[in-house]
Amino acid sequence: MARTAWMPQNQSMPEQALNEEILWQAVQTRDKAWDGRAVFGVVTTGVYCRLSCPCRTPLRRNVRFFRDPQEAGRAGLRPCLRCRPLASWGVDPDAARIEAVCAFIRANLEDTLTLATLAARAELSPYHFQRAFRAATGVTPRQYVEDCRIARLKEELRQQDSVTDAIYAAGFGSGSRVYERVDSHLGMTPASYRAGGGGVEISWASTACAMGWMMLGATDRGLCFVQFGATETALLDSLRAEFPDARLRPLAQPYPEPFGRWMSALQAHLDGSQPNPRLPLDIRATAFRIRVWTYLQSIPRGGTRSYSQVAAAIGQPAAVRAVASACAANPVALVIPCHRVIRGDGSLGGYRWGLDRKQALLRAESVSGR
């Protein structure tokens, strides 16, 4: 049989291999190993899914199994918008449309980009477009537009002669809209960001710990930098690279309040005597990353979650890569415990401060946190 666009990369199951008992077990365990090898349909909803679909498990009597999406389509079923089974076969019509819309957004940030306008461009209903866009990107169309404008604003702030020119060049209709959002995106005013942190004072201190060296950096609003390194010099270089024009003020012991409390809390956390330090933060992030980081703070000491579990927990099951990117971009180790996120197969995955540190943190927490 000639291969069609609907055939899986690993080929669909041969006639004699369609064992429904095994397939049903895969549905119940959400076994990702079956993605791209078979799909199941739910006759009561008219939808077909990956066998690993995170949706609520349907009743067995309503489930039918198919070798590939083409077979499910001939049975009158449509692909699930949550697990997007066509992506396992390398074919997802909505994905191509969403990618084209994203390119259109980036090229037309100065225009009014409404949901209706973007959905029409994708040739989808607003409801279908909203769901497909969020599944593909991890954020809503409105959030994506805003994130792109903030990214453009960061570029323009470095190039334009004035903050006002940068704001309008980035596609914002007014300065007030920017200042409503800078706390979550820039962590400082546009003028300060344009100056590379100029006008902002960051107090810092470092200490030797079980992870090597740990450095804390903080504004008067909260911690903006908690990182590990091999030397104090290397950590200070990282802090300068992040805030090249901020005023960096080293602190000596005894540390002033509340900085001293923050340093003590993190040291106690490493010692195992304080499970989850809840400390004030002054960090820059997109709305999506804030949601990821907020969820990470709810993972108990001694516990772990997979990247896919985090994505599902924040309501974005398709945004696994975006979750991994958010973990990698975490600027405040321990306070946002990204080390508790591992791969679905149980392996460690990545960690910006080194896998040895991640393993050591998890090992220490498994002993003291249960």
Residue with tokens 């989850």: 276
CATH class of the domain defined by 15-89: alpha beta
> Could you tell me if 166 and 149 are in contact, meaning their C-beta atoms sit under 8 angstroms apart?
no
pTM over 0.75, yes/no: no
CATH homologous superfamily for the domain 93-194: Homeodomain-like (1.10.10.60)
If we measure between CA atoms, which residue out of 363, 341, 362 comes closest to residue 350?
Answer: 341
* C-alpha–C-alpha distance, residues 222 and 332, integer Å: 11
Task: Output the pLDDT for position 156.
Answer: 57
pLDDT at 285 > cutoff 80: no
Average pLDDT over residues 40-68: 91
- Domain coordinates of the chain in residue numbers? 15-89, 93-194, 201-258, 287-368
Task: Output the pLDDT for position 165.
Answer: 53
Least confident of 117-126, 151-160, 349-358: 151-160
pLDDT at 87 > cutoff 80: no
Q: What residues are labeled active site?
A: 49, 338
Average pLDDT over residues 80-102: 76
Q: What is the pLDDT of residues 190-230, one digit of tens each?
A: 455 544 555 688 999 999 998 999 999 998 888 999 999 99
Q: What is the pLDDT of residues 228-244, one digit of tens each?
A: 999 999 999 999 988 88
If we measure between CA atoms, which residue out of 305, 337, 301 comes closest to residue 226?
Answer: 337
How far from the centroid of its chain's Cα atoms is residue 337's Cα? 14
Q: Do domains 93-194 and 287-368 have the same CATH topology?
A: yes
- Domain 201-258 fold is Double Stranded RNA Binding Domain (3.30.160)
Amino acid found at 303 = G
Say if domain 287-368 classifies as CATH 1.20.1560.10: no
3-state DSSP of the chain:
CCCCCCCCCCCCCCHHHCCHHHHHHHHHHCCHHHCCCCEEEECCCCEEEECCCCCCCCCHHHEEEECCHHHHHHCCCEECCCCCHHHHHCCCHHHHHHHHHHHHHHHCCCCCCCHHHHHHHHCCCHHHHHHHHHHHHCCCHHHHHHHHHHHHHHHHHHHCCCHHHHHHHCCCCCHHHHHHHHHHHCCCCHHHHHCCCCCCEEEEEEEEECCEEEEEEECCCCEEEEEEECCHHHHHHHHHHHCCCCEEEECCCCCCCCHHHHHHHHHHHHHCCCCCCCCCECCCCCHHHHHHHHHHCCCCCCCCEEHHHHHHHCCCCCCHHHHHHHHHCCCECCCCCHHHEECCCCCCCCCCCCHHHHHHHHHHHHHHCC
